[in-house]
A and B are shown apart, each in its own frame.
Chain A
């Protein structure tokens, strides 16, 4: 081989560089391609963005969003600036909606079970085959049991009507149900509608466990109102006290955060009421009637601050201080929520806290609690969740449902495993699951149907809670589905003629149904326009709402006696199980329904900054006592079972409490959530609030067992200072 000379080397190098330049500058083949749509999206302008307003229920039924689409693809979600509830703001779950829309693990075609039930072994079929199977298995005398989440508006109306016409049932499942709040509102305010807590104009907010800035009811609406409450123009800064067993994100914003033993919130509320009455902080004419209707002043005698302090974990002086502050900064609002309602006496706690509003005269006043109007029949509010008792009964009576249709909820995952809901599904004659992503319940299905993403379907909703007026939102597809999915409403409307008769529903599609009912009700919203033009305007603006608050008032009747407040009970002996287990929803993943979305998995929890996994919040001193440090894997053991998770020491967690987020430990879903963390809902005791049948999901006790393992918790915070490491500093610190 000849030796490589200098000249040859230079020549070779120059040729290589020149060749590289020529190849590198050539136009890639893909740039000379131009693809035509199969179906051109309506109104699409190539390369130009088009914004569509639609509904988004990812963070409560009250948000309308606008979605930016380019060439028929959704690119960005923002709040709808015209919509009165969220006023241009969007929840993190809404923002992340595009990622679940284009998630590669979405169900894309109908499938039929091939293996045993629960084996999740399916084979692909066509929609025609799927509809045939569905119609065949829903024929009378079979009566379907339809289980959905809190669906609203036209979809809710169609689903409920379909079930009723077939003689079946429609059950609404929500893992962290708010049944106790609904019952409290009914007893104290005499209404079925969730009232408007007018935070924006309040002088004082006294919240018992309601994480209203993060996860409770309508967090975007409340965050906006909270902004006005704290630093609105022309008003004094509002004061805020939060009382709860585990500090929530909302609690971390409070002026005063107080720990309370779970289940004693009602007693503290009544003790505050007693202080207000005894000290004459509010005129007798204000409290006399409501207190009389709820059992009389004597009934408050049992709630002296001293006697309540002994069990509640709050000092008597502090109860008095809060009572005085509350009464001196009226209008004040007392809100029950979160773990305060998930107790064996949850509905009574809700009643006691809400009664406080009536005792200080905050009911029906601006800055207090205001009534919300009922929704129109064809656009109902989200249907309230059925209490846990209904699902436990299905499991315990041993009977088998003829046919079960489950839509986009996962009761097998969300119910305590001691309930054995998978047996209910296994025993059923026929199970169909229509869902966007595979889940533990759909693993038992005979027929698996791909459901559309909310950005791909038609619908409507009445905001719940609204802001004291009727607010109707409309949902329209902002893109056509890239999968073979159909909307649940369209499915029911498609099979209804075969099962019920051609006259079952006036329209055959959700588009027609929503449009017809919208035009019927709001077709003359602007008399200068035609009904069709008004319909287009409803879609453009995202909905229709009253200009001012409705003139309604609460009933004077109170259907509750404060003497009925009982002491809380827990699952698990205090001696053996030392901690109160506080499951909590996270802002990003909610009750776990959004866990499939990797953006949301990666969004840090605002208090701990933990991402991607399940963790156990524990008091640092307790951790020292148990010889635990961050990342140590422990078994959280309850009488019902155990899960594993890493320790996170948090100074705001009381010594006898552990907090565990819900939403982890999924067996089915997407590639980014399956196997991440553990499912704390599975180890909860099936203890009820007897008066409502709601699950007391914050009334289980637990103990911790060290496993000896340690896994680094994925957090955003910088807790190991590398400057302390041997071997030098990555960041040079000037100390001169």
Chain B
């Protein structure tokens, strides 16, 4: 924060607060600049001094560091300074375009598999992060916004992982159609069940036949003595 002249008002202390200069470079004011520009600390015009306006501090830009308004960007990893119109926004845009191109090439060339899925999803997440951090200013904004975004995102990711990983037998009741291996196993199960059923039926039939045979034998045995008795009676009658 730069020093204020005596007549000006100290702005409230706000996190990540930067004083936005009205010049095109949007530099943070140094104490020396603040003193020389005391008369032009307003929000109007192109930096023209407004002598009738009370000396107040211009509205503090709570959202952006001054580097996001500068055309000069320090590239990460290579620590190279470049000057492009639009500054960091243009650099991020070019990065997003390059990543999209890589995605399309990977999607067209690599055969479907876990490598392809992981690579593409990683690039997508990186692109999303670039947009969220730089375009949505989450990098420089109030940290509470990260919580507001991150908490539902975390819950959603965990839920998705669970839904995709849940076993196909039962779980949420979702039973996908069987794959080739499962179909073969099902056929085998059916065949073995059919054989068991046939065997069981055969056993039952045999048992039933045995029972019938016993019963018929018993009947014959019962009838036979009756026949013998009649024959014996007939013989006795004849003899008498």
Q: Do A and B come from one complex?
A: no
On A, residues with C-beta under 8 Å from B are: none
On B, residues with C-beta under 8 Å from A are: none
